[in-house]
Amino acid sequence: MTVAETPQDPGPVRLSLSSRFENIEMAQHLCGKLLEGRDVSEETKHWILMALREGLANAIKHGNGQNLSKRVHVEMRVADDTLEIRIRDEGPGFDPKNVGDPLAPENRLKTSGRGIFYMKTFMDDVRFGRAAAGGMEIVLTKKLNASSETEGGER
Amino acid sequence: MTVAETPQDPGPVRLSLSSRFENIEMAQHLCGKLLEGRDVSEETKHWILMALREGLANAIKHGNGQNLSKRVHVEMRVADDTLEIRIRDEGPGFDPKNVGDPLAPENRLKTSGRGIFYMKTFMDDVRFGRAAAGGMEIVLTKKLNASSETEGGER
Amino acid sequence: MKTNVREVRGVSILDLKGKITIGSGDVQLRETINKLVDSGKKNILINMQDVTTIDSSGIGELVGCYTSVTNKGGKLKLLHLPPKISDVLTVTQLITVFDVYESESEAISSFA
Amino acid sequence: MKTNVREVRGVSILDLKGKITIGSGDVQLRETINKLVDSGKKNILINMQDVTTIDSSGIGELVGCYTSVTNKGGKLKLLHLPPKISDVLTVTQLITVFDVYESESEAISSFA
Ligand SMILES: Nc1ncnc2c1ncn2[C@@H]1O[C@H](COP(=O)(O)OP(=O)(O)O)[C@@H](O)[C@H]1O
Ligand SMILES: Nc1ncnc2c1ncn2[C@@H]1O[C@H](COP(=O)(O)OP(=O)(O)O)[C@@H](O)[C@H]1O
């Protein structure tokens, strides 16, 4: 007689952190927990956590200017085998159209400008918007058990 | 030439979860991360996470009545080597004076009524209040690097 | 939580594995014990060796199981209590309620 | 991040360990490389074997180091690139910018 537990959809998980880069790992740790026991490869999980890191770094740096009185807000949810991560800051926002292409020859050797590109590479979709509460909000989504995994470049 | 990282005070970490018992582990996982690399024994960490579990179980069960449209709110912070955990629900609240003593002979074999007692046993301090935002709030504190550790009963 | 029942020399040994916590394992423990009692088992030994976590709900269920087995004229004892679970039973003064064994054969003999 | 510098046959080998991420390791990498360049070192090999994580800031610093070493007439090469870091360099088309080696002795010889 053996009875196993069933995993559950835990509903939206909301986290807010002060604007320190060290806190990025807290959100990653929590996201890892949310993905635990789900049908997602270690590989995919790795790239999701990297995208989360990039989004949070931008919110902390460009959004909140590392101002400790401003916070970054993360909402994570898994529904229909799709992970949705919303990252909101308390900053002025920006227009993603003005962001350069890091693959353009003149940008190739720049020391910055790759974060959004990595997010787009590793997630299925990245959307940018202004949050109702103010600040910039980016929404990252990723289908978890996609049969063909194409992220992370060829090897 | 070797340069090590220094740990940082990450500021208050806020988490909100829907009213499911399965979510208790999310908060525990995050609290474990917050305590990582700090001067706290595995033993103490274990009892802190048990107290957190008891507080969240009460918020989910008695506070929110497992109503999925209500949320539990956790704030965790380490300052001056003291961990403070605030757990808030969206329920009617209660008067801790009305809670029985689980050590009283007539309560000893009851199937419930030990959660608050465990929290008080394993933490340095447990305070009860009504939150400004409504609902009950309990505040658990624990000095992390206390030289004499007295929790968890004799062995 | 995972449960497994073995019958050894007239004793039903319930091997528990994992968490006995609110919403996960607490009710299950009660149901498993009730089934044993309903099928006439009187000697029940719970092997706690692989229980990783217990909370006040799990403790409450354990006490509830103890009471219902005892009320039916049976005996419920505990085997291989991990140190932290022992602590949790101790502080609520429940450790003296339960008969606790460190050896399975000793525990089995004690029912005779 | 932890860094360690070894000198082997005229090559400064920088062993990195841990994270090269924003606020932790990114600036440190740049400072270490600058010190080597300022002390006249021209042949620099970064051993990435024990780098556990890198992000866009870390990649940016790596590119910045490459540029500043090259501008001073030196050479910066990479050793033992973990697969995921290789991926991250590949998708931003930086993998062809760096000379990457799998063997330390081969890498050292390549500077001659
Ligand atoms: N949350 C944000 N708030 C304001 N500006 C942002 C935000 N995220 C990104 N940006 C803008 O977009 C640019 C490109 O971002 P990114 O691709 O991540 O590269 P990097 O952060 O290295 O500059 C940033 O330099 C910044 O101007
Ligand atoms: N967050 C809460 N909201 C409302 N009532 C609560 C809350 N926490 C505890 N209580 C009340 O206090 C009682 C004792 O709680 P506790 O010691 O944790 O034991 P148990 O949860 O097993 O009853 C509960 O039965 C409940 O009536």
Which residues of chain C are under the pLDDT cut of 50? none
What is the structure's pLDDT at B66?
A: 97
Query: H or E stretch including A125?
Result: strand A125-130
Name which of A17-21, A94-98, A119-123, B131-135 the model is least confident about: B131-135
What is the structure's pLDDT at A7?
A: 53
- In chain A, residues with a C-beta closer than 8 Å to the C-beta of D63 are 109-111
Q: Which two tokens stand for residue D91?
A: 């998708």
Q: Which two tokens stand for residue A142?
A: 């990723």
Q: Which residues of A touch D (CB under 8 A)?
A: 20-22, 24, 46, 50, 53-54, 57, 61, 102-103, 108-115, 117-118, 121, 152-155
Give per-residue pLDDT as tens, B113-151.
999 999 999 999 999 999 888 899 999 999 998 764 444
Q: Which residue of C has its CA nearest to B51?
A: C55
Closest by alpha carbon to B9, among B144, B146, B150, B155?
B144
Give per-residue pLDDT as tens, D22-65.
998 878 899 999 999 999 999 999 999 999 999 999 999 999 99
What is the structure's pLDDT at A8?
A: 56
Predicted TM-score (pTM) of the model is 0.92
Residue A97, φ and ψ in degrees, nearest 5: -65, -25
Give per-residue pLDDT as tens, C36-45.
999 999 999 9
pLDDT over 90 (residue B84): yes
Under DSSP, the state recorded for B62 is I
Q: How confident is the model at residue B7 (pLDDT cuts 50, 70, 90)?
A: low
Give per-residue pLDDT as tens, D60-98.
999 999 999 999 999 999 999 999 999 999 999 999 999
Whether the CB of B59 sits within 6 Å of ligand 2: yes
- In chain C, residues with a C-beta closer than 8 Å to the C-beta of B45 are none
Return the residue whose CA atom lies nearest to atom 3 of ligand 2: B63
**C55 contact partners, CB below 8 Å, separation of at least 6:** B50, B53, B54, B57, B115, B118, C20, C21, C22
- In chain A, residues with a C-beta closer than 8 Å to the C-beta of D86 are 153, 155
What is the structure's pLDDT at D34?
A: 95
Q: How far apart are CA B23 and CA B104, in angstroms?
A: 32
A114 alpha carbon, closest ligand: 1
Q: How far apart are CA B133 and CA B137, in angstroms?
A: 10
